[in-house]
Amino acid sequence: MIVDATDEQLVAFHGGIYWDAFSAQHEPLEVWQRARRGELPYTLWVRLALDAKGIAGGIAFERYPESGCGLITYMVVAPRARGQGLGKRLIDDALATLGDAPAVYGEINDPETQTREPVEIARRRLAMFERWGARVVELRYVQPALAPGLARDETLRLIAWGDPSATLAQRFVDELYAVTESSWDHPVPPR
C-alpha cells in the first residue's frame, strides 16, 4: 500500500531509511516540512509504502511551476523489502501523479564520476532506471546545494521520463537553482 506520508511518518522516514540511504548529503527535514506547508514555490509529495513492519520504502518528488516539470528527489526501499518490485511501484506512482509534466527528472550517481559506491553498483542502478523508462539527459548537471552550508553535488547524472531534451532540461535546472538557492551565496547554476 502506497500512501501520502503523515507528518509523523515524514519524520520517521526522514530519520530512518532516507537518512541511511542518502548519508552523503541529507536534505534537512525542515525543508520538506516547509514545502509540504506550501511555503516554498514548488509542490512536494512524500509517498510511503507501508507493510506490517512499518515503512518499507518511500519516494519524494516535486513539481516546479514555471517549467511544469517534475523531479524525483529520493527513492529508497528498506533492505527487507528489496527485490520485490517496490522501487518500480514507487516510481510508477510518482510518474502517475506527475502525469501531465513534460518531463520528470531524477538524479542518480554518475558511474563515471562518483566515488560513493562501487562503479558497478552505479552502473546497475542506471541500467535499472533505463529499464523503467528513464533516459540519460545529455546536459552537464550539478545538483544545487540542498540547504545553506551544504555543497553542490557534481557527481550526479540527470535522467528523464518524458522529454529528455537538453533545452527543456536546462530550463528546468535554471528553475531548480532559482527555487533552491535563490537567497544563498551562489544562485547561478553552472553550465
Q: Give pLDDT tens digits along the chain (191 positions).
A: 899 999 999 999 999 999 998 876 788 999 999 999 999 999 999 999 999 999 999 999 999 999 999 999 999 999 999 999 999 999 999 999 999 999 999 999 998 888 888 899 999 999 999 999 999 999 999 999 888 888 898 889 999 999 989 999 999 999 999 988 875 544 444 55
Provide the pLDDT for residue 114: 84
Q: Does residue 190 form part of some domain?
A: no
Provide the pLDDT for residue 1: 87
3-state secondary structure 128-177: HHHHCCCEECCCCCCECCCCCCCCCECCEEEEEEECCCHHHHHHHHHHHH
Q: Does residue 123 form part of some domain?
A: yes
Number of domains in the chain: 1
Residue 85, SS3 per DSSP:
coil
- CA separation, residue 82 to residues 64, 88, 124, 150, 177 (Å): 30, 11, 15, 30, 33
Considering just the CA atoms, what is the radius of gyration of the chain in Å? 16
Provide the pLDDT for residue 181: 84
Q: Does residue 191 form part of some domain?
A: no
| Owner of C-alpha cell 501520502 | 4
Domain ranges, residue 148: 2-180
Running DSSP on this structure, what letter comes out for residue 26? P
Region class of 91: left (phi > 0), else alpha (psi between -120 and 50), else beta: alpha
Q: Does residue 189 form part of some domain?
A: no
- In angstroms, the CA 4 to CA 89 distance is 14
Q: Does residue 56 form part of some domain?
A: yes
CATH code at position 35: 3.40.630.30
Q: Which residues contact 55 (CB under 8 A, 6 or more apart)?
A: 9, 12, 13, 16, 17, 48, 49, 78
- Give the global pTM: 0.90
- In angstroms, the CA 172 to CA 191 distance is 13
Provide the pLDDT for residue 183: 52
Q: What is the DSSP pairing of strand 70-77 with strand 103-109?
A: parallel
Provide the pLDDT for residue 186: 47
Q: Does residue 19 form part of some domain?
A: yes
Residue 59's nearest CA partner among 31, 92, 85, 28 is 92
Provide the pLDDT for residue 151: 86
Provide the pLDDT for residue 187: 47
Q: What is the DSSP pairing of strand 135-136 with strand 156-162?
A: antiparallel
Provide the pLDDT for residue 145: 87
